[in-house]
């Protein structure tokens, strides 16, 4: 119970980059994760039981191949360009921390139960943390060293609003999964009521990516629930099921028939969509899109120049001309998870990431938990315009999904061999 709470604190508070440990170069989230790793290692060294499940071998294989890709990229980067060592050190330490906690979590006996309990802790901690940050934002009380606003966007304890938006995009589907898979009424109330607070905080960040992620996640969940409903009770016909099938079959002709009316309302729909963005679809949204396109093109070009081997951990792009030239010597990231990994570890790093995410998706599908697929969809959508692979909550999601749909067979076979 104590270690599950520590892991939940470490994963949840990793977004609180404005909260640092005095006299130490890391935050509260990293501190709690380090404590959890230390306690887990002590438990194993003291003779605690471990289970070498397929999930552990998958994660260990991923981190081994990923480290190899980064190592090759580091050599190429050292020989062909000037490396920004602060970024190299930061990313290396982050990857070591992530590899340690994911592999140790997969080695836990009954890992699915521990990760699920950690998930409940995370939602409870997030509710309290969001309530405190809203109090700071509305000026109900003051916290030294914390500025909860980034212009008109809520960032709470985070360095920027997008960090807070990422965690909201993941906490929502996680609470949905926990709420739909428990029979405890009070637990369901906690999970579903948390969705309101999480969505409210997410919208206050004014993150366009959070908006797109929420829309896609909602559509994915709705589609999965309709699929499950239509497939339930075998093939026995029923009036509601027949009506639903007829509506689905008639959706296309209905859409064609409504097209002339939809065209006349195009301006209203467009204005409504723009009103949901952080500045009403104005100049800031256009500048953000132009910046992303510039960075993505530069990342592809520089990655190809490295022979698709990468340049090692850390950022590698020249800062765009629209940014303050006072810091022009500092490199920039591509702000796209796939392209940033392509810059760091080349094509090999991208392929192993796609493999582990694909394995998590297949595992979530086998588990038959619709909200887990929604959780992965949220991560995938948010990764397109942002580099999110260094966030512990992303790796908690991947580990959670891998464990949820993988049978514990390898550990049992090892125990049987020992008994023989």
Cα–Cα nearest to 14, from 100, 173, 126:
126
Exposed (0-12), middle (13-18) or buried (19+): which is 240, by Cβ within 10 Å?
A: exposed
Phi/psi for 146 (5° steps) reads: -120, 125
Count of domains for the chain: 1
Within-domain flag for 187: yes
Within-domain flag for 68: yes
Point out which residues pair with 149 in neighbouring strands: 154
In this prediction, residue 232 carries a pLDDT of 62
How far CA 35 is from CA of 2, 5, 110, in Å, comes to 11, 11, 21
Within-domain flag for 188: yes
Residues 6+ apart with CB under 8 A from 309: 72, 73, 76, 346, 347, 348
In this prediction, residue 50 carries a pLDDT of 87
In this prediction, residue 263 carries a pLDDT of 45
Mode of pairing for the β-strands spanning 149-150 and 153-154 = antiparallel
* pLDDT block averages, 10 residues each, the chain of length 420: 86 88 76 93 89 90 96 92 84 94 92 92 95 94 88 91 94 93 90 94 92 88 76 56 50 51 44 48 64 85 91 85 54 87 95 96 87 92 92 95 71 41
Within-domain flag for 387: yes
In this prediction, residue 81 carries a pLDDT of 84
In this prediction, residue 80 carries a pLDDT of 87
Residue range(s) defining the domain that contains residue 19: 2-251+289-419
In this prediction, residue 222 carries a pLDDT of 83
Within-domain flag for 400: yes
In this prediction, residue 285 carries a pLDDT of 62
Within-domain flag for 371: yes
In this prediction, residue 383 carries a pLDDT of 93
Within-domain flag for 261: no
CA–CA separation, 185 vs 401, rounded Å?
A: 24
The reported pTM is: 0.85
Within-domain flag for 280: no
């Amino acid at each position: 119970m104590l270690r599950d709470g520590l892991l939940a604190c470490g994963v949840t508070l990793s977004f609180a980059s404005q909260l640092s440990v005095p006299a130490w170069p890391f935050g509260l989230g990293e501190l709690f994760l380090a404590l959890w790793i230390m306690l887990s290692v002590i438990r194993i060294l003291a003779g605690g039981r471990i289970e070498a499940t397929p999930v552990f071998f998958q994660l260990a294989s991923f981190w081994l191949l990923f480290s190899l890709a980064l190592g090759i990229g580091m050599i190429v980067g050292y020989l062909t360009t000037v490396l920004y060592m602060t970024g190299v050190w930061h990313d290396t330490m982050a990857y070591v921390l992530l590899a340690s906690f994911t592999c140790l979590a997969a080695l836990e006996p009954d890992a699915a139960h521990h990760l699920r309990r950690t998930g409940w802790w995370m939602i409870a901690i997030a509710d309290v943390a969001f309530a405190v940050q809203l109090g700071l934002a509305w000026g109900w009380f003051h916290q030294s060293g914390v500025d909860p606003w980034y212009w008109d966007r809520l960032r709470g304890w985070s360095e920027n609003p997008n960090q807070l938006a990422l965690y909201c995009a993941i906490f929502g589907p996680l609470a949905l999964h926990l709420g739909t898979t428990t029979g405890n009424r009070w637990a369901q109330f906690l999970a579903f009521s948390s969705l309101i607070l999480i969505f409210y905080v997410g919208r206050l960040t004014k993150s366009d990516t959070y908006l797109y992620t929420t829309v896609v996640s909602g559509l994915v969940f709705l589609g999965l629930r309709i699929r499950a409903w239509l497939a339930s009770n075998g093939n026995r016909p029923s009036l509601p099921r027949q009506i639903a099938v007829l509506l689905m079959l008639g959706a296309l002709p209905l859409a064609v028939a409504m097209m002339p009316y939809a065209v006349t309302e195009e301006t209203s729909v467009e204005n409504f969509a723009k009103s949901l963005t952080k500045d009403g679809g104005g100049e800031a949204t256009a500048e953000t899109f132009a910046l992303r396109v510039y960075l993505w093109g530069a990342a592809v070009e520089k990655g190809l120049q490295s022979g698709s081997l990468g340049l090692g951990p850390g950022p590698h792009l020249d800062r765009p001309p629209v940014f303050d030239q006072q810091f022009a010597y500092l490199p920039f990231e591509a702000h796209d998870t796939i392209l940033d990994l392509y810059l760091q570890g080349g094509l090999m790093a991208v392929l192993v990431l796609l493999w582990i995410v694909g394995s998590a998706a297949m595992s979530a599908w086998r588990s038959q938990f619709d909200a887990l697929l929604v959780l992965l969809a949220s991560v995938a959508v948010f990764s397109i315009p942002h580099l999110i692979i260094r966030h512990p909550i992303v790796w908690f999601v991947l580990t959670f999904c891998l464990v949820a749909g993988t049978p514990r067979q390898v550990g049992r076979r090892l125990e049987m061999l020992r008994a023989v």
